[in-house]
Amino acid sequence: MDKIKILIADDHAVVREGTRQILEREPDLEVVAEAADGEEAVKLAGSSKPNVAIIDIAMPKVDGIEATKQIKALYPAIAVLILTAYDDDQFIFSLLEAGAAGYLLKSVRGHELIDAVRAVYAGESVLHPAVARKVLNRFVPPAGKTAELKPSAVLSEREMDVLRLATRGLSNQEIARELCLSLRTVQAHLGHIFNKLGVSSRTEAVVRALKEGWVNLEDIP
């Protein structure tokens, strides 16, 4: 079985050690590198080639926001999962703008972190519902603004169906049921969406669709 390779970046050694212990209890997860600051995180993202980078915000030299920007610019296939004590709007929006696939608070239980790693690796979004609503309100364009780029110029009609349901927070399995498709077909559609939009996660795809005006708050429950 291929393991999900993980980089942990946090300036507290005890947090890194605890996070590693939680993750490596799982047979499909492997921590391949640890970084004590954002600069080291970017370097290790290149040398250790993780699938998922778990990054804190407050770190010396280069903070989590800048580290996320650099990692996504250099290695777009790496899914960045933020694990932090901060839930300020400015941090959430800056990190999602930078390309983070998920945002968790350090108050989460171990099994929630494990589930989140698997989810962002699969291209799914990991946002607390309250955070998700803030995100939608932040990135949706002002009323009356028309989309500069038509979605049909980028995505097929079926891909837009999948993206709308992803925006509503449905899982891949739920999207498959809603559209009467197989799970494999939904995963393939999402892969095509990510490739066409130049993103690597559902969160990034939804933020892009909101910014472009392809989906709106009426699409959200």
How do residues 67-102 score in pLDDT, each as one tens digit?
A: 999 999 999 889 999 998 887 888 888 888 888 988
Residue range 141-219, CATH number: 1.10.10.10
99-123 pLDDT, tens digit per residue, is 898 888 888 889 999 999 998 898 7
**What residue spans in the chain does CATH classification 3.40.50.2300 cover?**
4-136
| Max CA distance (Å), the chain | 51
Q: Which structure tokens are listed for 124?
A: 């799914």
Contact assessment for residue 206 and residue 167, using Cβ atoms and an 8 Å cutoff: yes
Sheet arrangement for strand 79-84: 29-35, 4-9, 52-55, 79-84, 102-105, 126-127
How far apart, in whole angstroms, are the C-alpha atoms of residue 123 and residue 129? 18
150-171 pLDDT, tens digit per residue, is 777 788 999 999 988 888 777 8
Instruction: Please give the pLDDT value at position 211.
Output: 80
Q: Which structure tokens are listed for 130?
A: 């309250």
**What residue spans in the chain does CATH classification 1.10.10.10 cover?**
141-219
Fold of the domain spanning 4-136: Rossmann fold (3.40.50)
